[in-house]
Amino acid sequence: MKKRISLILCLLLLSMAMFTACGSSNEPAGQPEGDGEALKVVCLLNGNLGDKSFFDSANQGMKMIKEQLGVDTKVVEMGFDNTVWESTLYEFADSDYDVIIVGTYQMQELLAKVAPEYPDKKFIIFDSEVEGDNVYSITFKQNEASYLAGALAAMMADDASLTNGKNLIGAVSAMDIPVLNDFLVGYIQGATDTVPDTKVAISYIGDFADTARAKELATAQYNMGASICMHVAAQAGLGVIDAAKSLGTYAIGVDADQAMALSADDPKASAQIVTSVLKNIDQVLYRAIEKHLDGTLPYGTTEALGMEEMAVGIADNDIYRGIATEEMIAKAADLQAKIESGDIKVKSAFEMSTEEIAAYKASVEPK
């Protein structure tokens, strides 16, 4: 009898142990079933953190990937010296990282060279595209988001109770390149569709880091009578925001919600940023790695992501709602719905020739 009871107890204990082992696991998402090691992902930034927009958004995405997906992540600031970018890319391609992330058109040629040499590695490039079976490319419908910014800017410039009422808005871009001109084309169309006689002053800095030059160009536009200026200039664009703060005018940020990003360190600057054209790099990187983990990321293709994927939009925060009128906010929401439904077709610089882009910008230049 005692032997039978002992045997039953042993069987019960064994069953409980097996149930516990099979039924509960503290292993975080992102851990493969085999060797128990986490997926290793590195993001190589061809610039530096601290821009409160583009690269900071990528860094935030890597934090989300680490914290929510249990992935082993690393962010490398390569800086603006492009002579080190290729060697750094090779260094990590030779390492034990499983996925290597880079961004912008400046990394396009280098990745096209390196990726085919490492067919067993996976590469992701954002804000540009590279062909290759082991490369996943992400582009953005930034023209659609900047359409909303242009509409808002034009409505504000037309409202003498908010601004000088001169129907002049500005834009400062880092470079005269297709991806940034895509912002500008959408911005112009949104402005002129909404307030047809709006004029748009456009200036180019020449790089992504010169905040002093950006401030100088924005100040010149404000002095011309522009009551609001959008920047598409990453770190250099902080100079545009500084000009708005100095002159008490308005700015539109880019890539991240720059009003919120600056609210703690520079509340006076934050208060002048009506909204930001969002290019949610954090969200698309998180989405990409999540899909990589479940085996559905379409390597070998390019995906153009827009509002549906939460990849683009305009920032909606207390500052936006404190400056823009209820009518302006409602109009922006209505325009977004029409873009999403296809009722509004936004022009794209990628579908225009260089000459067509130049003519389009010239058609709205202040005389």
DSSP assignment of 145-168 equals HHHHHHHHHHHHHT-TTTS----E
The distance from CA 362 to its chain's CA centroid, rounded to whole angstroms, is: 28
CB 195 within 8 A of CB 226: no
The type of residue at 321 is: R
CB 127 within 8 A of CB 179: yes
Here the tokens at position 197 are 């006689």
Tell me the per-residue pLDDT of 322-351, one tens digit each, with 9 for 90 and over: 999 999 999 999 999 999 999 999 999 999
25-34, 240-249, 251-260, 305-314: which has the minimum mean pLDDT? 25-34
Q: How far apart are the first and last CA of the chain?
A: 105
Average pLDDT over residues 185-197: 98
Domains of the chain listed by start with CATH number: 40-140 (3.40.50.2300), 142-279+312-362 (3.40.50.2300)
What percent helix, strand, coil does the chain show, rounded to 5? Answer: 50, 20, 35
The type of residue at 84 is: V
CB 256 within 8 A of CB 277: no
Tell me the per-residue pLDDT of 196-208, one tens digit each, with 9 for 90 and over: 999 999 999 999 9
Tell me the per-residue pLDDT of 9-62, one tens digit each, with 9 for 90 and over: 444 444 444 434 433 333 334 444 345 689 999 999 999 999 988 999 999 999
State which H helix or E strand residue 140 sits in: strand 135-140
Q: Report the distance separating Cα 347 and Cα 33, nearest Å.
A: 47
- The residue length of the chain stands at 367
